[in-house]
Amino acid sequence: MQEAKEYPDNSGSSCLFCRWIREGKAVETLGTVAAFNDGYPVTDGHLLIAPLRHTADWLFLTNPEIRDSETLIRSLVNKIRQRDPLVTGFNLGTNIGASAGQTVFHAHIHLIPRRDGDTENPKGGIRGVIDGKRGYHPIKQPVNTPIRSKPTPGHAGWDSLTSEERFTMPKDVTKVRDQEVVLWDNTATRLSRFWQSGPLVLVFLRHYG
């Protein structure tokens, strides 16, 4: 396979992982791949799985290298769990290209043991590669200030409501900035909008089906 031209040439003596392989720093070897302790571990037990052959990234691994990597990773996971019962999960991933955070251009896979409480909120996991994107944050809604419990005859838009809508009666009317928002509690699927002299009134129909 031809190497990606945009990657720097750090093969041979300039490649950190090639040097580690020559110096026998692997903690475990299986077929075409080896595992090393990460030089800057994220957690205790953070390992790197790399092919013995110098190649730029995971996309250039051969099928035997991919199979050996998977077998070695499964073996390492079992050993880590046996050695440390506090390990309750793992992050497994690879960086491909400088824009994705790759700094050593010798293919490698990160195996990161995780323990309950090692971070305040682990939800989102690998999404954290982009700052502020790890969690699942809903769109923030403006704070609503209740005005009155329900509209009455003469209230903005009352005359345009159907008899069914008047019968169900909204549970709440709130003010969002300069708009009045009427929250309905029926199971209709229609959204009614109507204008009158004054602020825009929106009628939201909640659907509980």
pLDDT at 39: 94
SS (H, E, C) the chain: CCCCCCCCCCCHHHCHHHHHHHCCCCCEEECCEEEEECCCCCCCCCEEEEECCCCCCHHHCCHHHHHHHHHHHHHHHHHHHHHCCCEEEEEEECCCCHHHCCCCCCCCEEEEEEECCCCCCCCCHHHHHCCCCCCCCCCCCCCCEEEECCCCCCCCCHHHCCHHHHHHCCCEEEEECCEEEEEECCCCCCCEEECCCCCCEEEEECCCC
pLDDT at 167: 56
Instruction: Please give the class, per CATH, of domain 12-129.
Output: alpha beta
Query: Which among 50, 1, 4 is positioned nearest to 26, based on CA atoms?
Result: 50
Q: Is the entire prediction scored with pTM above 0.85?
A: no
pLDDT at 1: 41
For residues 105 and 103, what is the distance between their CA atoms, to the nearest angstrom? 6
**C-alpha dihedral, 138 to 142 to 148 to 152, nearest 10°:** -80
For residues 53 and 20, what is the distance between their CA atoms, to the nearest angstrom? 12
pLDDT at 162: 63
Query: Which among 12, 92, 23, 21 is positioned nearest to 58, based on CA atoms?
Result: 92
Q: What is the pLDDT along the chain (209 residues), one digit of tens a residue?
A: 444 434 444 555 689 999 999 999 999 999 999 999 999 999 999 999 999 999 999 999 999 999 999 999 999 999 999 999 999 999 999 999 999 999 999 999 999 999 999 988 888 888 877 777 777 766 555 555 454 445 555 555 556 666 665 555 444 444 444 444 444 444 333 334 433 434 444 444 444 44
What residue ranges do the domains of the chain occupy? 12-129, 145-205
For residues 200 and 178, what is the distance between their CA atoms, to the nearest angstrom? 8
pLDDT at 175: 44
Q: Which residues are CB-contacts of 138 (< 8 A; sequence separation ≥ 6)?
A: none
pLDDT at 125: 84
